[in-house]
């Protein structure tokens, strides 16, 4: 994503430090900056972890939806058309990757199962440490990531959740022969 200039850069810390880095963010490695000038740098990490839960939960929802579409007879192509119209961008991109079988064919993951589980674990710890906030959807997604790790090992990718959801519902992990 950095090579494509599409990162979202979260800049935190002293304004003077942020000013030195900004020329290398938007338009170079990133498409946007979120500026936490004069706030503690840990806020950037906290935002990254919590933000990644949105991505993990998005993939979980897509996986469940595509599995239900297949089992109900609607068909994944019909659901994908709706996703493209309703949620263009990341939803459509992940949906394409799932339907193409990229989630189990890829040799090098884009968002490895280990990194996704690490971020999920951090978020669950944060929730626990802030008065036991509940993150049920993330807990379900993390259980599917564990199944991905068991099935694909280190080459497991975040959208491989689709295979785990498929398998949990009586289908083959792989959607293509």
pLDDT of residue 132: 86
Q: Is the pLDDT of residue 156 over 90?
A: yes
Specify whether the CB–CB gap between 110 and 117 falls below 8 A: no
Residue 19 has pLDDT above 90, yes or no: yes
* pLDDT grade for 5, boundaries at 50, 70 and 90: confident
What is the CA 169 to chain-centroid distance, rounded?
22
Residue 15 has pLDDT above 80, yes or no: yes
Question: What three-state secondary structure class fits 26?
Answer: strand
CATH number of 42-168: 1.10.1040.10
**Spatial distance between the Cα atoms of 55 and 2, rounded to a whole number of angstroms:** 18
Q: What is the pLDDT of residue 33?
A: 94
Nearest Cα residue to 119 out of 63, 69, 73, 51 = 51
Nearest to 114 by CA among 158, 168, 144: 158
Give residue limits of the domains in the chain.
Answer: 7-37, 42-168
Predicted local confidence at residue 176, as pLDDT: 86
- Rounded to whole angstroms, the maximal C-alpha distance in the chain is 58
Mean model confidence pLDDT for the chain: 95
Cα–Cα distance between 75 and 140 in angstroms, integer? Answer: 24
For the entire predicted model, the pTM comes to: 0.91
At 46 the pLDDT is 94
Residue 12 backbone dihedrals phi, psi, to 5 degrees? -135, 150
């Amino acid at each position: 994503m950095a090579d494509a200039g599409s990162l979202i850069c979260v800049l935190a810390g002293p304004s003077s430090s942020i000013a030195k880095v900004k020329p290398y963010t938007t338009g170079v490695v990133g498409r946007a900056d979120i500026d936490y000038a004069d706030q503690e740098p840990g806020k950037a990490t906290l935002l990254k972890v919590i933000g990644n839960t949105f991505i993990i939960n998005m993939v979980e929802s897509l996986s469940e939806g595509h599995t239900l579409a297949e089992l109900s007879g609607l068909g994944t192509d019909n659901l994908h058309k709706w996703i493209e119209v309703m949620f263009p961008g990341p939803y459509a991109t992940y949906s394409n990757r799932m339907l193409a079988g990229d989630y189990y064919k890829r040799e090098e993951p884009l968002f490895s199962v280990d990194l996704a589980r690490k971020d999920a674990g951090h978020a669950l710890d944060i929730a626990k440490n802030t008065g036991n906030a509940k993150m049920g959807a993330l807990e379900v997604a993390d259980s599917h990531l564990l199944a991905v790790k068991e099935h694909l090992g280190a080459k497991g990718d975040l959208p491989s959740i689709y295979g785990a959801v498929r398998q949990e519902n009586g289908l083959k992990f792989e959607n293509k022969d």
